[in-house]
Structure 1
């Protein structure tokens, strides 16, 4: 190699090194509720404490429609998902019933639904829940609200639900961001 080639390679390596270092220690982008429907926005006085991506399954069961003899529908039974941080590391799980968010540190909580809002025909809705007091100390302690946003999939199966299929269960894949808030 010539001196000029070595100098060029050293310059490219230095620029690449600086570019790589510029992202080190950078804070993750702050989550914004601006594009969400008002019904699922977290009230003022709460701040984002943790952001996760939930990926897994939702189970539905074919049941008779309440108060509608001879009619049937797919009914939500419960979720089973891993909660990952933005870097892809598992930080917890989400399962039910009852719907439970559990951190890898053992702290967990359930919640009461406040509101839902549509997010397209092929996706489960956005959701806002108010957290019940956490069990155990850790990441879930002090959580006030959880938002389900950026939903993908998870809607009831397209398979027929009729008297012949009553009691059958179907599992569908889904993904959603779960944003955890704490009082400021």
Structure 2
């Protein structure tokens, strides 16, 4: 009887240990070559600027502080070209977009003029353009700007650079701009990722 009891006890211990381990194994599945527990949805893939044109890369000594997706519109106005009053062009007036997290939560807005990134906590920042790079036909260019000192305490404090990447749409209207419609405004839809950097 003693041996039977020992066997039963051993079996129960093995079974309970298995029941404790199985759920963890089902989540991690690291033995199958999948992501380890610590790298699953809780830790999304880190942003990398390695594939961007050098002109719009943030210099060394800075780190990503916040990633947002801007979704909204840009207003253009038909104006006479500078130093060429007889010719006209669509001129960028300003943006009006929501700043969202990767999961879609609205955490701020991007508006202008002047172009201003504002967080829901009230902090906001303007910036000076450093460089642009082509982003494909029909898309506004990639852009790198150097942030001015932020106003208000919050997420925008300490922001040093902002990148505009992954742009979709936003270019000037296709309709004609001339003397007949000078002063008229057109709104176009666009989307872009805005990556906020701070000194590391």
Give TM-score scaled by structure 2 length.
0.81
Q: Which residue is equivalent to 1:150? A: 166
Cα distance in 2 for partners of 1:34, 1:24 equals: 23
Give TM-score scaled by structure 1 length.
0.88
Q: Which residue is equivalent to 1:8? A: none
| 2:124 equivalent among 96, 101, 108 | 108
Q: Which residue is equivalent to 2:27? A: 18
Does structure 1 residue 53 correspond to structure 2 residue 69?
yes
Q: Which residue is equivalent to 2:102? A: 86
Greater Rg by CA = 2
SS state at 1:70 partner: strand
After TM superposition, the structure 1 = structure 2 runs for residues 24-173 of structure 1, keeping only pairs within 5 Å, are: 26-173=42-189
Cα offset, 1:27, TM superposition:
1.5
Gaps spanning 5+ residues in structure 1: where?
1-13
Cα offset, 1:121, TM superposition:
1.8
Cα distance in 2 for partners of 1:142, 1:181 equals: 8
Gaps spanning 5+ residues in structure 2: where?
1-22, 29-36
Cα offset, 1:25, TM superposition:
6.2
Cα offset, 1:29, TM superposition:
1.4
SS state at 2:70 partner: strand
Cα distance in 2 for partners of 1:82, 1:74 equals: 23
SS state at 2:118 partner: strand
Aligned length: 171
SS state at 2:46 partner: coil
* Cα deviations by residue, 1:2-34 (Å, 9 ceiling, x for unpaired): xxxxxxxxxxxx79x737xx5766212111111
